[in-house]
Structure 1
């Protein structure tokens, strides 16, 4: 449906979905926060009026109290609290540093990330670490919990997560509760299957770790990839 055919109160949300959050004006963003307008004004019109009262400056708007906000017709306590809350979230976000993503440059780096998840388990689990082009960790995920002897992996889920995070590299890992670091035929087969699937999607399988309580084996280090 085209935006122009929608009621004006619905347009900011629909515009968000169709064109993305960056396409919204300040008044449209504020209208979404408020949710609705007054009897005589749409949410967008009311948002424009509120922003105009502070020279269209978010910093000035954040200085308004709940009592100040409810002076505008159509703004009750609930809407005023929603506005103040959203501005406080923005303030806190601005004050925080972006956390540095860990970088994996070798198998030990990957092991350090995964050993706390896998080393002391009594049953097998299969995990994956998803990386960008700089080998920075984008996401870490447990994919399966298996029985005592095997963990079955759905490769479709693995690559869906990789695509969702725009990953260009994957490190997979599972544990051997028995303490045996030797790869099984199934371990080798699933590694090859994931490697081939990744090649089709331009997502590189960088390593496969087998983790025991005190050590690990790297397929990459052993030349098994």
Structure 2
């Protein structure tokens, strides 16, 4: 059924104008992002198709890729990019809201800050969270994307922004696409290499948090940081 054939009060756009976005279902919100349907299928039907290919429904949209979206009949490059842009905005909002001059006091707070952004990523994302002497977040630097190694995550890449922003310490964060946050030998080796680099510069590596799918590891809590 085409959206224009629905009663006016059931159309997503009219419903949002009248009652606000909270009144819309996930499918209806996604239909507004998709914006238009095709000759055979409405935007609502296309939204249902998108959600159907996501593992665990809406939660799985965090890891959906361009190629997967383009396999859906009726979803072209423009619609796919609109969906991916909306998902990315959601991730950034979650991080920016939580990172605004909050004082991070434990590993759970750090993990909460990045869990929804990183748990669905299919590649390893390595971040440096810079904090001041009070433990308040100054900035978050995206250090690298790809398999974690001492070559990619070099001290100069991690500490260059920390020096510029006069950070007192950094908290390292990266994800494991497998969903298992257990630290590897490479994780531990790289972490302690960065700890040594920080000691030379007078910038403490406070912790290294590894994000999995709904769980995390803290190398500090595991006493793996020397």
TM-score with structure 1 setting the length: 0.53
Map of 1:112 onto structure 2 = 112
**2:187 is equivalent to residue 205 of structure 1:** no
Q: In the alignment, is the contact (CA less than 8 A) between 2:171 and 2:208 conserved in 1?
A: yes
Tell me, what secondary structure is at the counterpart of 1:163? helix
State the shift of 1:115 in Å: 1.5
Map of 1:180 onto structure 2 = 180
Following the alignment from structure 2 to structure 1, what is the Cα–Cα distance between the partners of residues 178 and 117? 16
State the shift of 1:100 in Å: 6.0
State the shift of 1:181 in Å: 2.1
TM-score with structure 2 setting the length: 0.53
Following the alignment from structure 1 to structure 2, what is the Cα–Cα distance between the partners of residues 154 and 196? 12
Following the alignment from structure 1 to structure 2, what is the Cα–Cα distance between the partners of residues 117 and 165? 24
Tell me, what secondary structure is at the counterpart of 2:180? coil
Following the alignment from structure 2 to structure 1, what is the Cα–Cα distance between the partners of residues 158 and 138? 14
Aligned length: 125
Tell me, what secondary structure is at the counterpart of 2:140? strand
Map of 2:121 onto structure 1 = 121
Map of 1:220 onto structure 2 = 220
Tell me, what secondary structure is at the counterpart of 1:111? helix
Question: Unaligned stretches of 5+ in structure 1?
Answer: 1-98
Q: 1:1-225 counterparts in 2 under 5 A?
A: 101-147=101-147, 150=148, 152-225=152-225
Question: Unaligned stretches of 5+ in structure 2?
Answer: 1-98
RMSD between superposed Cα atoms in Å? 1.6
Map of 2:58 onto structure 1 = none
